[in-house]
Structure 1
């Protein structure tokens, strides 16, 4: 069992006030808050070892390089990658997805097919649309049912020898639905397709085992898992990373440059052009250490309790509908109240110090499926409490009365 008050004391922002009220932060799906140990680690880097990495023989450069590569190994172990060079530092999930999509431009030909799901964030739709425009490939969409779950029988019927890559999120950012990605990966591999998993919403809640999943690529962001913004990881199987061309050209990703020909560096540097977010990469390792110290079993237990409590309390409100009622869900509740725009609810509860997200959550096709403009999304983390949920429910009730 977690000592929630002790955990909350690790996060300075949770003691802040917003609009004169104690902050209740339920926008963890957009970004998580940062523990003091992460904040301190960022300052420590700049105070003690700030230097460019991989290129210098001087002491600070070597210290910074060691810290950066130690963090890469931490991330390798965290996701159970086979090799550390399969772990690429990126600026976030969007960067990782675009890197893979750009690489597949050299592989796809007209008539090839890419499968995405109806649950995707725009960052896992738009790069593939751009790729289709560039290559003549065709984008196919896996549909969902009224519970927000992917229809696996329809997925199976879409798979064929034309399918070259399947790209799907592990957990939906808008609905909290946990997709059966291991099963989906196996089915894709059976027709010879590669699979990319968007893990942005999964990594705050669970430890992905990329070897067990057998995915070809797994992308996620650091800022959603208590780490800094502008950080992320793209895991790729060694064979795939060797097959794809570099995403960007510049320093660090080369072995030798002449005006006649350039040869590229070995993995992972082939995909890491230019000076990276060194501090962010190092501190992402600190964030992973912190989450593992808390324990993902503890995190999942706490968040399950929060999800159950929020679902029960919100459904007490007449006219409230929850979207995404899958059997397998993360700690996200996406809801509306009949006849009231979600933005209006969000604006009123903000005045009471409660941060929720309103809108289409960069998942507009989901909103189109349900024929709604958007939802109110409350996304919980392990440092949230049932008491905070009760306060949100009362605020939503108050907003309903004001807006009815």
Structure 2
């Protein structure tokens, strides 16, 4: 892997040469092949795909179909009919939750964990209030992974959904999705397994068939793609049961007012009402090309190397005696930490002002982490474009973290 050649493909790095971008868990930088594709679509094609009446309209439909097939291959779905385009993982998770409204009854159980992003928590809580469902917490181990043995003992005939992330956006622990799904199905084969893949899909291999999950969601912008595009995968048998969250153009085959009657189109279009973000979908196809050319395994290994390097440098500088690291020992391509008595935002501002290092601070939309010992923190996260030299500068900044107020006073 030629890292210099890879970095040269990112316009952001060229236009911000002094910045060290360590916020990939929030969103990846976009390679030029992605940003240029979106512009190309508007300047050369610019057609709504809900028509075949002229050449560019036909081309737009081809883009939609070809990108769907790309996604099918990337996540190893059985059929392209199982791939639904959305605006992002949040919409996909809402479509799942509220699409199951008629399937769920008072007293049914929904399992979620304390580490879930708000997008995989709030929809289930709202639905639970509406339908009088029972929300239960997925048990976690001391390392914050899902405790499979304990979870298996908690599953009952009333357990209708277990929803969790492959990788937490805070602690970053990776869950063994296949083992978890197998354990759940062995106790109650009717329990639906919903998986949030937003944080994992751009970092490690996804295989929805091998995992045996019922639903899987993710966002393109967390895998070097554009904003405003996402994917909802569903095993076709259960995807058929989802009631659309949005109704409109493109997803109805026939509509009559008297007598009142309508018929929806087959999957996946029945869950894609309205005009899709086709320019974004075209750019997404280029993001998939980018990842496939490098290979997801290469990306994963590079990020793992960066994490191990960061672990070594942090320990050598004895930073873990001054800073509280929550995930220093795991393999996640991120670091989560605090300095006791200091607001994380002050640390992030210090790193940005004095070292041109962009990191994120706050709750990271994981609203229940206070029960795990922290509510807000600083998060450093890596991508394929990051280097060991950039980690050296981060360590240098953390060595001088006691000066965090200097640029304010």
Short-chain TM bin: over 0.9
What is the match of residue 5 of structure 1?
Answer: 4
8 Å contact 1:222–1:228 — kept in the other structure?
yes
* In 2, Cα distance between equivalents of 1:144 and 1:189: 19
8 Å contact 2:181–2:212 — kept in the other structure?
yes
What is the match of residue 359 of structure 1?
Answer: 362
Q: Summarize the Cα distance change of 1:145–1:400 in structure 2 as closer, same or farther, 3 Å threshold.
A: farther
What does 1:1-400 align with in structure 2 at a 5 Å threshold?
A: 2-17=1-16, 22-190=18-186, 191=188, 192-259=190-257, 260-315=260-315, 316-317=318-319, 318-324=321-327, 327=330, 329-351=331-353, 352-370=355-373, 372-400=374-402
* In 1, Cα distance between equivalents of 2:396 and 2:223: 29
* In 1, Cα distance between equivalents of 2:387 and 2:15: 16
Alignment length, in residue pairs?
Answer: 398
User: 3-state DSSP class of the match of 2:102?
Assistant: coil
For residues 299-346 of structure 1, give each alpha carbon's deviation from its aligned partner in whole angstroms, at most 9, with x where no partner exists.
11111110111122234213112113565x321111112332211111
Structure 2 residue runs of 5 or longer lacking an equivalent are none
8 Å contact 1:177–1:326 — kept in the other structure?
no
* In 2, Cα distance between equivalents of 1:60 and 1:15: 33
The CA deviation at 1:146 is 4.0
User: 3-state DSSP class of the match of 1:164?
Assistant: strand
The CA deviation at 1:402 is 4.2
User: 3-state DSSP class of the match of 2:103?
Assistant: coil
* In 2, Cα distance between equivalents of 1:10 and 1:124: 33
8 Å contact 1:147–1:323 — kept in the other structure?
no
Calculate the aligned-residue CA RMSD, in Å.
1.5
For residues 34-66 of structure 1, give each alpha carbon's deviation from its aligned partner in whole angstroms, at most 9, with x where no partner exists.
001111111111111111113241111111111
* In 1, Cα distance between equivalents of 2:269 and 2:169: 31
The CA deviation at 1:244 is 1.7
The CA deviation at 1:388 is 0.3
8 Å contact 2:369–2:375 — kept in the other structure?
no
For normalisation by structure 1, the TM-score amounts to 0.95
User: 3-state DSSP class of the match of 1:335?
Assistant: strand
8 Å contact 2:350–2:405 — kept in the other structure?
no
8 Å contact 2:311–2:329 — kept in the other structure?
no
8 Å contact 2:347–2:404 — kept in the other structure?
no
User: 3-state DSSP class of the match of 2:85?
Assistant: strand
User: 3-state DSSP class of the match of 1:106?
Assistant: helix
* In 2, Cα distance between equivalents of 1:135 and 1:204: 35
The CA deviation at 1:157 is 2.3
The CA deviation at 1:248 is 1.2
Structure 1 residue runs of 5 or longer lacking an equivalent are none
For residues 219-261 of structure 1, give each alpha carbon's deviation from its aligned partner in whole angstroms, at most 9, with x where no partner exists.
0000010100000000001111112222211111101011121
User: 3-state DSSP class of the match of 2:43?
Assistant: helix
8 Å contact 1:15–1:22 — kept in the other structure?
no
The CA deviation at 1:136 is 1.2
For residues 55-92 of structure 1, give each alpha carbon's deviation from its aligned partner in whole angstroms, at most 9, with x where no partner exists.
24111111111111111111111111111010000000
* In 2, Cα distance between equivalents of 1:59 and 1:295: 33
For normalisation by structure 2, the TM-score amounts to 0.94
